[in-house]
Chain A
Amino acid sequence: DIQMTQSPSTLSASVGDRVTITCRASQSIRSWLAWYQQKPGKAPKLLIYDASSLESGVPSRFSGSGSGTEFTLTISSLQPDDFATYYCQQYNSYSQTFGQGTKVEIK
């Protein structure tokens, strides 16, 4: 299985900060990567698919980039509703695998 590694594991930031989360794949996954946001006790919510396509209804402050083995999720100006855990997921090959998550905390 392809291993997905996110960094950092935890990130402390303030409202208004620009935040970047990195996801690295153990082998090339082309652009077949999604990003999800999960809040405590809730199901994950899709933010980005195909590495850079913004899901309908998701605020434009979220953006994704990258291809091959290195990807980033950027929040241009962190809002109070954005404090959550973020996961990347590769769907290049089976088994589809997720990163271990990045928790964005209030600084």
Chain B
Amino acid sequence: QVQLVQSGAEVKKPGASVKVSCKASGYNFSGYFIHWVRQAPGQGLVWLGWINPNSGGTKYAQQFQGRVTMTRDTSISTAYMELSSLRSDDTAVYYCARDGALLGYCTTTRCHTNGLNWFDPWGQGTLVTVSS
């Protein structure tokens, strides 16, 4: 079955960087964008960006531009999200999620080429705690 398994919890000091991994299985890794979403304690969901595993192309949410880097290693079907210059308000659970549609798949109404889709499935989440 389609599954995304993330790396374990991290504790970082302010100013440091964190790199979270997301290993995919059960499908063609290069065929679907991988998105990253975070959720601060007791808060809602915020989209950080996506990576196209096929090309390595990325798109980041403006509020994280310059601090987030998404990469992938297709040989091991794994995506990575690195966030730098960590602050206390970066404390959150970070999720990876697969894009809802096969890259390039077209229906009568649209073609899925730009990463604007629903997310399914999601990884189990990685808690990143930023504390001095």
Q: How far is the CA of A45 from the CA of B95 in the complex (A)?
A: 12
A43 and B95 contacting across the interface, CB-CB below 8 Å: yes
Does A12 reach chain B (CB closer than 8 Å)?
Answer: no
Q: Is the CB of A87 within 8 A of B95?
A: no
Stretch from A20-28, A75-83, A90-98 forming part of the interface with B: A90-98
**How many angstroms from the CA of A25 to the CA of B111 in the assembled complex?**
23
| A89 adjacent to B116 (CB under 8 Å) | no
A62 interfacial contact with B, CB 8 Å: no
Q: What residues of B have a CB within 8 angstroms of the CB of A87 in the complex?
A: 44-45
State which residues 81-132 of B face A: CB under 8 Å. 95, 97, 100, 116-125
**Which B residues are closer than 8 A to A by beta carbons?**
44-47, 59, 61-63, 95, 97, 100, 116-125
Question: Is the pair A43, B47 in contact by a Cβ cutoff of 8 Å?
Answer: no
Please give the residue numbers on chain A whose beta carbons come within 8 Å of chain B beta carbons, in ascending order.
32, 34, 43-46, 49-50, 55, 87, 89, 91-101
Cα distance A10–B100 when bound, in Å? 28
Cα–Cα, bound, A32→B115 (Å)? 12
| Contact in complex: A98, B44 (CB < 8 Å) | yes
Given A43-B95, A46-B100, is A89 in contact with B124 using a C-beta cutoff of 8 Å? no
Pairs across A and B, CB under 8 Å, 13 listed: A32-B116, A34-B119, A43-B121, A43-B124, A44-B95, A45-B121, A46-B120, A49-B118, A55-B120, A91-B117, A91-B118, A93-B116, A94-B61
